[in-house]
Amino acid sequence: MGVAMVGLRVLGIDPGLTRCGWGVVEGRPGARPTALGVGVVRTSPDLDLELRLLEVHTAVTALLREHRPAAVAIERVFHQNNKGTATGTAQAAGVAALAAAQADVPVAWHTPSEVKAAISGSGRADKEQVTLMVTRVLGLTTPPKPADAADALALAICHVWRAPAQQRLRVAALAGGIGAPVPAARTLPRWTGISR
């Protein structure tokens, strides 16, 4: 009789200052994951920036304590047209990562196109398609709202499905000497070009 494989529990964070989406999923590659919680942390634009960041940090810390994830998956922030929005998003991502580090939980950063490809098969899927696929994949009766919450669940699903393969590739690369640290006393061999 085989041993049942334990699922990976992941807290997904779709960072934002006004709305920071979160979703907790447990599962393993090749199986339907289960949603354990979803929501949005909201902060008021009337508050000073540091207080808004403190609210996000406090909320993520509470989620880490409540759900005890094995990993936190955060959307990698890219430059957007609105620099103010991109800055706030990056700051919210930073305090979420800080909360995870303080709880000794590893953080994985996923690009929006990587998440969209994992959940829908297309890196160009729009928010409606992502929400629809999250609803189907998790077997939910109603779509998670707002879109920030659905995006957070998509991040968590992406990590549940991709993390084991990524970890195996990382271990294999290190075993082969790729990406291994170079001892300080040694230098890299000089490039001599293609042998004649």
Q: Please, which pLDDT band fits residue 2 given cuts at 50, 70 and 90?
A: very low
Q: What is the pLDDT of residues 18-27, one digit of tens each?
A: 999 999 999 9
* 42 located within any domain: yes
* 34 located within any domain: yes
Burial code of 42-61, b = ≥16 C-beta within 10 A, e = fewer? bbeeeeeeeebbebbbebbb
**Domain boundaries, position 51:** 8-175
* 149 located within any domain: yes
151 is catalytic: no
Kind and range of the H or E run holding 35: strand 34-42
* 47 located within any domain: yes
148 is in an annotated binding site: yes
- Is a pLDDT exceeding 70 seen at residue 192? no
- Is a pLDDT exceeding 60 seen at residue 3? no
The catalytic position among 14, 26, 55, 151 is 14
Nearest to 73 by CA among 187, 192, 162: 162
39, 143 contact by CB (below 8 A): no
- With pLDDT > 90 as the criterion, what percentage of the chain qualifies? 68
48 is catalytic: no
In this predicted model, which residue has the larger pLDDT, 186 or 150?
150
Place of tokens 């709880």: 103
Q: What is the pLDDT of residues 90-139, one digit of tens each?
A: 999 999 999 999 999 999 999 999 999 999 988 889 999 999 999 999 99
14 is in an annotated binding site: yes
pLDDT of residue 4: 46
The catalytic position among 26, 48, 50, 75 is 75
The catalytic position among 26, 55, 148, 151 is 148
* 182 located within any domain: no
126 is catalytic: no
* 189 located within any domain: no
- With pLDDT > 70 as the criterion, what percentage of the chain qualifies? 78
* 103 located within any domain: yes
* 125 located within any domain: yes
Q: What is the pLDDT of residues 85-94, one digit of tens each?
A: 788 999 999 9
Per the structure, the count of domains in the chain is 1
Query: What CATH number is attached to the domain comprising 74?
Result: 3.30.420.10
Q: Average pLDDT, stretch 160-178?
A: 70
Tell me how far apart the alpha carbons of residues 54 and 17 are, in angstroms, rounded to a whole number: 10
